[in-house]
C-alpha cells in the first residue's frame, strides 16, 4: 500500500515537473555568448516622470534598452510609449492587466496579449514579438498562446530586485554582481500591481541605479544591446 502511494506520488511529481519544463521551453533567460554584452529591460511602465527620466539617462550614456510596458499604462501614457520608440529603444508586451497568466484561461490570455499588441501597434506602427510574463510565471496555456501569436517569452538572468530594494546603490550592486556575458537584466520603470501598498513609490531609485549600472559595466568592458539584438548575436 505504502509502496503504491510512493509510486503514485512519484508519477505525479514527474508529470508536474515535465509540464513545468515544457511550459518554460523556448523562453529565453540569457544568451549563450562569450562577448561582454548585456540587455537592460524595464517592466511595468510607462510611468511619468520616471520613464522620461530614464530615457534621458539612457540617452546620456548612448544606451538602448528594452521596455515591457503594461497595457493599462500604455493607454494612460501613450506619449511615453512613442518617446521610448522614437529614442531607439525596443518595446515588448507585458500583458494588458498584469494578472499572473496562469490564473487566466487561454482565451483570456490571448485577449490580453492581442489587446496590448494592438495598443502598441497603433502607437508605434509595429506589433511586438517579445513577451515578458508578469511575475515571470509561465504555464502551458501561456506557452501555447505565445506559439499561436508567434511571440517569444523573455525572462531574465539578473535583477536589481527593485521591487524590494529602494537604495539605488544596492539595486545597482545586485545587477553588477550577477551580470555575465549575455545577461538579460530585469529592472522596473513602473509598477505591475497597483493594489500593492508600495505601488505609488517612486521609481527614481531604479533610474539612479541605471546610471551606476551603466558606468560600472562599461568600465568592465560591457556593451549594451536590446533583447532583440542580443538573441540575434552569433553564439
Ligand atoms: Zn511586471
CB 66 within 8 Å of CB 185: no
CA atoms within 13 Å, Cβ hemisphere of 97: 11
For residue 162, the CA-to-ligand 1 centroid distance in Å is: 12
The per-residue pLDDT for range 39-83, each reduced to its tens digit, is: 999 999 999 999 999 999 999 999 999 999 999 999 999 999 999
Query: What per-residue string of b and e applies to 187-215 under the rule 16 or more CB within 10 Å gives b?
Result: bbbbbbbeeeeeeeeebebbbbbbbbbbe
Q: Could you confirm whether 43 is annotated as catalytic?
A: yes
For residue 1, the CA-to-ligand 1 centroid distance in Å is: 46
For residue 193, the CA-to-ligand 1 centroid distance in Å is: 8
Active-site residue identified among 43, 44, 162, 189: 43
DSSP summary character for residue 175: H
**Domain residue limits at 36:** 2-232
pLDDT, residue 156, reads 97
Confidence of residue 102 (pLDDT cuts 50, 70, 90): confident
Pairing mode of beta strands 152-153, 130-131: parallel
For residue 10, the CA-to-ligand 1 centroid distance in Å is: 34
3-state helix, strand, coil in the chain (%, to 5): 50, 15, 35
Q: Could you confirm whether 44 is annotated as catalytic?
A: no
The per-residue pLDDT for range 7-25, each reduced to its tens digit, is: 888 888 888 888 888 888 8
Domain count within the chain: 1
CB 207 within 8 Å of CB 54: yes
pLDDT, residue 116, reads 97
The per-residue pLDDT for range 131-190, each reduced to its tens digit, is: 999 999 998 889 999 999 999 999 999 999 998 899 999 999 999 999 999 999 999 999
More confident residue, 175 or 101: 175
Active-site residue identified among 89, 94, 98, 188: 188
pLDDT beyond 70 at 199: no
The whole-angstrom separation of Cα 156 and Cα 43 is 11
CA atoms within 13 Å, Cβ hemisphere of 149: 26
The whole-angstrom separation of Cα 87 and Cα 64 is 8
The residue whose grid cell reads 530614464 is 54
CATH number at residue 96: 3.20.20.370
pLDDT, residue 170, reads 97
pLDDT beyond 60 at 197: no
pLDDT beyond 70 at 195: no
Amino acid at each position: 500500500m505504502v509502496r503504491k502511494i510512493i509510486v503514485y506520488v512519484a508519477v505525479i511529481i514527474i508529470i508536474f515537473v515535465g509540464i513545468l519544463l515544457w511550459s518554460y521551453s523556448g523562453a529565453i533567460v540569457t544568451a549563450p555568448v562569450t562577448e561582454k554584452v548585456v540587455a537592460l529591460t524595464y517592466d511595468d511602465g510607462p510611468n511619468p516622470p520616471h520613464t522620461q527620466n530614464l530615457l534621458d539617462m539612457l540617452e546620456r550614456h548612448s544606451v538602448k534598452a528594452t521596455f515591457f510596458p503594461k497595457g493599462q499604462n500604455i493607454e494612460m501614457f501613450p506619449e511615453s510609449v512613442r518617446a521610448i520608440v522614437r529614442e531607439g529603444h525596443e518595446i515588448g508586451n507585458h500583458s494588458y492587466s498584469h494578472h499572473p497568466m496562469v490564473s487566466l484561461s487561454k482565451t483570456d490570455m490571448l485577449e490580453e496579449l492581442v489587446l496590448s499588441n494592438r495598443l502598441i501597434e497603433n502607437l508605434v506602427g509595429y506589433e511586438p514579438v517579445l513577451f515578458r510574463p508578469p511575475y515571470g510565471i509561465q504555464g502551458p496555456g501561456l506557452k501555447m498562446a505565445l506559439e499561436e501569436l508567434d511571440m517569444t517569452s523573455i525572462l531574465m538572468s539578473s535583477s536589481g530586485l527593485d521591487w524590494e530594494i529602494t537604495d539605488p546603490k544596492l539595486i545597482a550592486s545586485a545587477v553588477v554582481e550577477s551580470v555575465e556575458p549575455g545577461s538579460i537584466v530585469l529592472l522596473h520603470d513602473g509598477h505591475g500591481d497597483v493594489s500593492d501598498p508600495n505601488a505609488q513609490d517612486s521609481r527614481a531609485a531604479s533610474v539612479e541605479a541605471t546610471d551606476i549600472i551603466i558606468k560600472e559595466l562599461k568600465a568592465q568592458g560591457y556593451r549594451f544591446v536590446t533583447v532583440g539584438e542580443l538573441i540575434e548575436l552569433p553564439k
